[in-house]
Amino acid sequence: MENISIIVPVYKIKEQYLRKCIESLIHQSLSNLEIILVDDGSPDECGKICDEYADYDNRIKVIHQNNKGVSAARNTGIKIATGTWITFVDADDWVELDTCKIALKRAEKLKTDILVFGIYVNYHDRVVEHPFYDEDINSFDTELKQDIELRTMLTKNDDFIYKKGFLYTGCTCAKLINREFLENSKVLFNENLVRGEDLIFYLNLYEKSQKISYYNKCFYHYRMNGDSATKQYCEETAHIIATTIYEQQTFIEKYHKPRLYYDIFYASTVSYISDCLICNYFHKNNHKRLAVRLKELKCILRQEPYHTAIMLVDARNLQRSKRRNPFYYKHNLLFLLWLDWKFYDMKHRATI
C-alpha cells in the first residue's frame, strides 16, 4: 500500500503550470506515492499531458471522465485512492520536493486525522509565506477546533476582521488526511456546489475529526491567479453563492453551533454580496443600463439568505472600507454604493 495518494483534478490548465505541478510530485523525496490525475473532460491537451507522464512514471494513474466539475473530479480520486493518507493538489499549483516525506513523518508521529500545514502564496511578482498559526499544534482543543472552523467559513474572503492569520484553512490544499478516517466520516465534496465546495468539505471534515494537528512549515505553493474564475462575469453569481451559503447555514444548525458562528455567517454572507458586484452587477461585461442592474441587485438583496444577513450583521466584523455596505444595502442606497465602488476602483487602480 502506498503511503500517500495525491489527487489532482485537471481541467483547462496552462501546459507550463500542469507540467510544473506534476514534476513537483514525481520528484518527491518520498517515493512510495500514488499520483491520481483526474482529467475532468478538459478540451485542450491536458489529458494527453497526463497520459504522457503516466507512460513515464508507473505511480501515476490517469482517469479520463466527462466534465463534471472539480468536486466530482476530487471525489473520483478519493474513491480509487489506496494510500494510507490522502492529499489534494490543484493542477496550477506545486509543492516543495520534501513535502510528502516531512508531512508524512509528522502525521504518523502524531497519529492525527488531519494534518494542516502552511502555504506559500505566489503572486506574479513575489512569494509570500503564509502560516495559519504561529507555532506547531499537536492536537486542537475545543477552542482551536472552533477557531479553524470559523477561519474556514471565512476562506478566500478578505472583508473581515476576525483574527490575525491567513484565512485559507478551508482551501483544499495543504492538508494530509488519514484515508481510513475520511472513509469513515462519509464526507465527500458536494457536487452540486459551483463555488465554496472546498470550505463546505472541510467544515464537515473538521467537525467529524477526533484529532486535528498543525505543522508550522510551508510546503505548498498556491498560485494567486489574477484571472480567477471568481472574478469572471457570471449572471448567476448570486444564486451560485446562495447555494454555498445555505450549506454553511445547514452546518451551523445541524451541529447546534454557538452565536459566534452566526455572527461570522452573517458577516460572510454580506461579504459575499461583494462577489455579486464584482462578477455581475458592477462587472465591465455587464452591458445593461445602470438603472436595470441596480434594480436587479435590489431584488436579490430582498431575497434570502442575503436579506436576513443584511438586517442582522454587525458591521464591526467587516473591514473599515466595507462597513458602509450593509447600510447601503439595508436602505436601498444602491446608486451611492455604485459611486463608492467606482471611487474605490479608481483609487485602487491608481495605486497598482
Indicate if 217 and 239 belong to the same structural domain.
Answer: no
Indicate if 218 and 234 belong to the same structural domain.
Answer: no
* Of 190, 223, 256, the domain-final residue: 223
Alpha-carbon distance of 129 to 137, in angstroms, equals 18
Indicate if 207 and 277 belong to the same structural domain.
Answer: no
pLDDT attached to residue 282: 92
Indicate if 110 and 256 belong to the same structural domain.
Answer: no
Indicate if 137 and 273 belong to the same structural domain.
Answer: no
Give mean pLDDT, residues 4-23. Answer: 96
170 in Cβ contact with 151 (< 8 Å): yes
pLDDT digits (tens, 9 = 90+) for 283-312: 999 999 999 999 999 999 999 999 999 999
* Of 192, 223, 254, the domain-final residue: 223
Give every CB contact of residue 13 below 8 A, 6+ residues apart in sequence. 21, 42, 46, 91, 92
Range of the domain at 296: 229-351
The answer to whether residue 157 scores a pLDDT higher than 70 is no
Task: Tell me the CATH number at 81.
Answer: 3.90.550.10
pLDDT attached to residue 166: 47
pLDDT attached to residue 316: 81
pLDDT attached to residue 350: 38
The answer to whether residue 165 scores a pLDDT higher than 60 is no
162 in Cβ contact with 264 (< 8 Å): yes
Cell of 350: 491608481
pLDDT attached to residue 349: 42
pLDDT digits (tens, 9 = 90+) for 182-225: 999 999 999 999 888 999 999 999 999 999 999 999 999 999 87
When pLDDT is cut at 50, 70 and 90, the band that residue 111 belongs to is: very high
φ, ψ (nearest 5 deg) of residue 95:
-130, 155
65 in Cβ contact with 40 (< 8 Å): yes
pLDDT attached to residue 268: 86
- Strand, coil or helix: 27: coil
Give mean pLDDT, residues 30-38. Answer: 97
pLDDT digits (tens, 9 = 90+) for 217-248: 999 999 987 555 567 899 999 999 999 999 99
Indicate if 295 and 211 belong to the same structural domain.
Answer: no
Q: Considering the chain, what is the average pLDDT of its residues?
A: 90
**In DSSP terms, which residues pair with 120 in a beta bridge?**
129, 221
Work out how many domains the chain is built from and give that number.
2
CA 41 from chain center: how many Å?
22
Alpha-carbon distance of 91 to 18, in angstroms, equals 5
- Please identify which residue in the block is written with the cell numbers 452573517: 266
Give mean pLDDT, residues 141-156. Answer: 86
- Burial class (CB within 10 angstroms; exposed 0-12, middle 13-18, buried 19+) of 84: middle
pLDDT more than 70, % of the chain: 91
When pLDDT is cut at 50, 70 and 90, the band that residue 1 belongs to is: low
Indicate if 300 and 321 belong to the same structural domain.
Answer: yes
Indicate if 77 and 195 belong to the same structural domain.
Answer: yes
Indicate if 87 and 235 belong to the same structural domain.
Answer: no
Other beta carbons within 10 Å of 46: 21
Give every CB contact of residue 271 below 8 A, 6+ residues apart in sequence. 157, 159, 160, 318, 322
Indicate if 211 and 297 belong to the same structural domain.
Answer: no
The answer to whether residue 347 scores a pLDDT higher than 70 is no
Instruction: Say what angle helices 46-56 and 15-26 make with each other, to 10 degrees.
Output: 20
pLDDT more than 90, % of the chain: 75
* Of 223, 252, 277, the domain-final residue: 223
Indicate if 121 and 146 belong to the same structural domain.
Answer: yes
Beta strand extents in 206-318 (DSSP E only): 212-223
pLDDT attached to residue 229: 57
Task: Quote the pTM value.
Answer: 0.91
Indicate if 186 and 281 belong to the same structural domain.
Answer: no
